[in-house]
Amino acid sequence: MTDHASTPLTGPFYAALQRGELLIQQCGDCGAKTMYPKYACPSCGSADLGWTASAGLGTLHSFAVQQVGAPTGFEDDLPYAVAVIKLDDGVQLLGRLCPDARDGWDSYFCDMRVQFDATSDDGRHIAWFRAQERTSS
């Protein structure tokens, strides 16, 4: 697989992912947050773009569990679940869902709360999510 992840645009994002952090692009001029990262701010056109850390909390918009028919290079991943996550930061992205306690995805459902899973990265440029842990607060 060609590595498209080492460009000036993607490098900082994936380097952070490998450290267990989820970054979002933020405009230094208007403050707008952007995903996926862009070459110019889609809100004001500024090229003064930086990064801000996300708390990694959001809702699950939808997900799909690939059972067969993986692309070349992904065969050993089967089965796996891709998901569209709407972060509380106001941006969204495609990532993967960790298998649940029963080693499947039956406990997941649309609009449930999910959180970024910092422990799953193995340098493959995938943002992992799992069900949000309940807190007493």
Q: How many CB atoms lie within 10 A of CB 89?
A: 18
Q: Which is nearer to another protein, 5 or 32 (CB)?
A: 5
Q: Which is nearer to another protein, 53 or 64 (CB)?
A: 64
Q: What is residue 132's DSSP assignment? A: P
Minimum Å distance from CB 57 to another protein? Answer: 17
Minimum Å distance from CB 11 to another protein? Answer: 10
**DSSP notation for 3-28:** ----STTTHHHHHHHHHT--EEEEET
| Strand 80-87 with 92-97, pairing | antiparallel
Judged by DSSP in three states, 96 sits in strand
Q: Which is nearer to another protein, 48 or 111 (CB)?
A: 111
* Pick from 116, 70, 44: nearest CA to 131: 116
19 with 127: CB under 8 angstroms? Answer: no
| Binding residues for another protein (CB under 8 A) | 1-2, 4-5, 7, 9-10, 35-36, 61-72, 74, 77, 80, 82-84, 92-96, 105, 109-111, 124-127
Q: Which is nearer to another protein, 37 or 132 (CB)?
A: 37
Minimum Å distance from CB 47 to another protein? Answer: 18
Minimum Å distance from CB 31 to another protein? Answer: 20
